[in-house]
Homo-oligomer: A and B are copies of this chain.
Amino acid sequence: MDTARPTAQLPLRERKKLRTRQALVDTALELFTERGFDGVTLDELCEAVEVSKRTFFRTFTSKEDVACAPLHDMWTAFLKELEEPPGDAGLPVFDLLRDTLLRTLTRMPADDWPHRVLLSRRLAERTPSMDAHGLAFCDRTSRTVVDTLLRRFDLGGTPYEDLVPRLTVDVLVAAFHRALEIWTAGAGDTPRTAEDLATAVRTACAAVPASLALPARPRPVP
């Protein structure tokens, strides 16, 4: 089952753990997609992966968590990527974040990650508790991102705590979510790649200025 990955040379124990984790994610996405999030009990999932429920909860914090793993992984990779020294100095933070996100996308495992994200997002759209879990995770991650930014960059001491940089991150996250939505909704079973998603992210980010300037002409009342 999917050995010899870029798992490189981790201690055996770690590799085993990662394999269990991946098996749980894949089986969960498969079962949930087939019978719905609520149509599958954790006992069944654990049975299928041959793992005790106790072990499941040592790997994931909740039933939602396992189904949201693909995007969790991406954001975790994003945080790592953000620690790398940026190419251009003086670039607006928003562009820096966008580029970091795009770079992260190119580095996700190209063969299976996009498919996992697709399944996960489709599930989230019809499973409120999954959606909630994903949003809360993004929110927590955003805080971490702001902390990293403050540590690495001189943002000129903004008033009201971290209002300005935090808004920057919020806008990027919003744009990413819109991109995901568009990417996920795309026609039926067309294969989706991380590049497609990157394109959508670029589009969404580019649409931000227009969204702030968008004029509201009232319709003629019917």
The interface of chain A, by Cβ under 8 A from chain B, is 85-86, 89-94, 96, 128, 131-133, 135-136, 139, 149, 151-156, 160-161, 163-168, 170-171, 174-175, 177-178, 181-182, 185, 203-204, 207-219
A126 smallest CB distance to B (angstroms): 13
* Whole-angstrom CA separation of A36 from B131 in the bound complex: 24
Known interface pairs A89-B216, A170-B171; 5 further A-B residue pairs with C-beta atoms within 8 A, sorted by A's residue number: A91-B216, A152-B219, A161-B181, A164-B211, A171-B211
A219 smallest CB distance to B (angstroms): 5
Tell me if A163 and B136 are in contact (CB < 8 A): no
A138 smallest CB distance to B (angstroms): 8
Secondary structure of the A contact surface, majority rule: helix
Tell me if B204 and A163 are in contact (CB < 8 A): yes
Residues of B within 8 A of A149 (CB): 216
* Whole-angstrom CA separation of A161 from B51 in the bound complex: 43
Tell me if B214 and A92 are in contact (CB < 8 A): yes
Q: Which of B96, B160, B218 contacts A85 (CB 8 A)?
A: B218
Q: Which of B135, B151, B204 contacts A167 (CB 8 A)?
A: B204
* Whole-angstrom CA separation of A208 from B208 in the bound complex: 11
* Whole-angstrom CA separation of A203 from B163 in the bound complex: 9
Q: Which residue of B lies closest to A221 (CB)?
A: B85
Tell me if B216 and A155 are in contact (CB < 8 A): yes
Tell me if A215 and B166 are in contact (CB < 8 A): no
Residues of B within 8 A of A156 (CB): 217
* Whole-angstrom CA separation of A11 from B131 in the bound complex: 37
Tell me if B219 and A153 are in contact (CB < 8 A): yes
Instruction: Give the most central of A161, A203, A207: most B CB within 10 Å.
Output: A207
Q: Which of B89, B135, B174, B218 contacts A135 (CB 8 A)?
A: B135
Residues of B within 8 A of A208 (CB): 167, 171, 212
Residues of B within 8 A of A85 (CB): 218
